Amino acid sequence: MEKRKVKFSLVYRDMWQSSGKYLPRVDQLEKVAPAIIEMGCFARVETNGGGFEQINLLFGENPNTAVRQWTKPFREAGIQTHMLDRSLNGLRMSPVPADVRRLMYKVKKAQGTDITRPFCGLNDSRNILDSIKYAKEAGMIAQAALSLTYSKVHTVESYVQLADTLIKGGADEICLKDMAGIGRPMWLGKIVEGIKKLHPDIPLQYHSHAGPGFAMASILEVCRAGVEYVDVAMEPLSWGTGHVDVLAVQEMLKDAGFDVPEINMDAYMKVRSLTQSFIDDFLGYYIDGKNRYMNSLLIGPGLPGGMMGSLMADLQSNLENINKWKVKNNQPELTQDDLLVKLFNEVEYIWPMVGYPPLVTPYSQYVKNLAMMNVIQIEKGKERWSMIADNIWDMLMGKGGKLPGKLAPEIVKLAQENGKTEFSDNPQSLYPDALDKFRKEMNDNGWDFGPDDEELFELAMHPEQYRLYKSGAAKKAFEEDLAKKKNEGGGLIATKVNVADVAFAPTTLNVNVNGEVFKVTVSYGDETGKQSEANPVAIPIASGEEKKILSPLEGKFYLTKNTTEKPLQVGDKVEVGDLIGYIEAMKTMNTIRADKAGTVIKIEKSIGQDVEEDDVLVVIQ
């Protein structure tokens, strides 16, 4: 009997994203590509998607040049390249207009990306079907993804039905995206069997994370059930919060009787050495050592490996916040492990209450952030649900797609009290076409549209980051941050350097990219996204009692969350409940409303300024 073939795909982008904050520069990617090809075992390589292009922008690199140069050697070697996209959200955390989504696939195909893997964080087929249509129009292979998670509403039948819908809607392939690695092996095998029974000729690819510990058994089961491609990683970035190593997978499947490719070990060691050199160069400063460990505590909360880097950073900053309060109130401090367990328990508790959204970007961040806010409030003697960010409300109300489960009665009641209404139409209808606006900005600035309108696409997909890239502010801020990291040590590296010559600019803005916050120098805001800094100001006002509006949490202060909003100004009259501004904490914007009425006489904080709990934001009279 002929052995069944299983092919390997190297997730080189996701290897980095699941380990830390940054990805290699284009010169480093070009250096490692020939050695990856020389390994001789990869049918596919993941070359871009997700946060890849924002990272290029924040290095000060052109992301379109990076994608073209990175995909080129693989295509010449006959290796397919693939990318990850977020359907309605394109390559970012927030929804994208339909015309920008269409342009994305045309640009990516022209740049050399063969396959796109669209997923919806809610498994709403409407969002994925649009992506399938746009990708195929552009000539790409559409590999639709099932965002896998494990609960009473996420059944074998539901996933087989979703796959059937996507295949009938034009999907060329299906990816089983086990982003947290919590799919139970036998359960996963049944999903594969169900899909293959209906569509035996549709290729299936399995993507998992090693963290919880199921991955090797899961790979064996899905291959036995009919999967043709398996996503793998390699040292020094395999295992931990990342993915299984190709060496172990190859030996396991070979022993199980599958036809798997041989691996050139000299080339493997060359790729390993080059990857380590990138870590030693600078990337290790942004990799938390704890992300190199596996942790079966992740089975319960089901949080994905790709967000563990940001989670550990959030944990440390919030631990400091909680312990400041505890010291002030003569209570014993928490350890990081104490807080981690409390967070995991809270995620498990609230996940069913908020409708069981699959814990994948951006909804993994939203559920984790909501849980963290609840833990912080509870530890300070306050109530759950007292801080719910606007984008979390959008998720709860259906603005990104239909939730798999039902909201708990107390969440429904809370929504009513906050004037929130459910949205049930197609989410894309909320986000109208926008390319004409961005074309005007390109023309007004005299910017080159690039081949295949790729520069227009980059501005439209990542407007804030692209403007910072064009101004040079992003590159400067990154270099300053790296110099600071090297001076302080930390991460997987502890080298010290002298940063006496680094010039730190006084005006800063925090930009959210793929769930991570980057500090950049910028002016920000009018109709082109340029707004002068809001410094503390005061004007004489008729005498009266001064009243202070305080920050309810620690984070970054902003007067607006986008350029469509009018910022609060001195002299404005505010009523109880009026919008004051926002505090960005854990990559979400938390609305701050007035708890007093009066006339604004002073705005105490600048845009992007750090604030602590109980800091004065605005003074009214």
pLDDT value of residue 526 = 39
Q: What does DSSP say about strands 80-85 and 537-538: parallel, antiparallel, or unpaired? A: unpaired
Q: Indicate the burial class of 413 (C-beta count within 10 angstroms; 0-12, 13-18, 19 or more).
A: exposed
Tell me the two tokens of residue 482: 């790296």
pLDDT, tens only, 313-333: 677 778 888 888 888 889 999
Taking residue 63's Cβ as centre, other Cβ atoms within 10 Å add up to 28
Predicted confidence band of residue 223 (pLDDT cuts 50, 70, 90) = very high
Residue 306: pLDDT over 70: no
Q: Give the pLDDT confidence of 510-566 residue by residue, as tens digits.
A: 444 444 544 444 433 333 333 334 444 444 444 567 888 888 777 788 888 765 678
**In whole numbers, what is the pLDDT of the chain averaged over residues?**
86
Strands 141-147 and 173-178: parallel
Question: What is the spatial distance between Cα 577 and Cα 582, in angstroms, rounded to a whole number?
Answer: 13
The length of the chain in residues reads 621
| Mean pLDDT across 1-10 | 91
Q: Domain spans of the chain?
A: 148-232, 296-429, 537-620
Confidence band for 295, pLDDT divided at 50, 70 and 90:
confident
| pLDDT reported for residue 523 | 38
Output the pLDDT for position 316. 73
Alpha-carbon distance of 226 to 258, in angstroms, equals 11
Angle of the 52-59 helix axis to the 473-488 helix axis, nearest 10: 90
On whether the 537-620 domain is CATH 2.40.50.100, my answer is yes
Taking domain 148-232, whether its CATH number is 3.40.1390.10 is answered by no
Tokens of 480: 């300053």
CA 467/CA 568 separation, integer angstroms: 24
What pLDDT sits at residue 264?
98
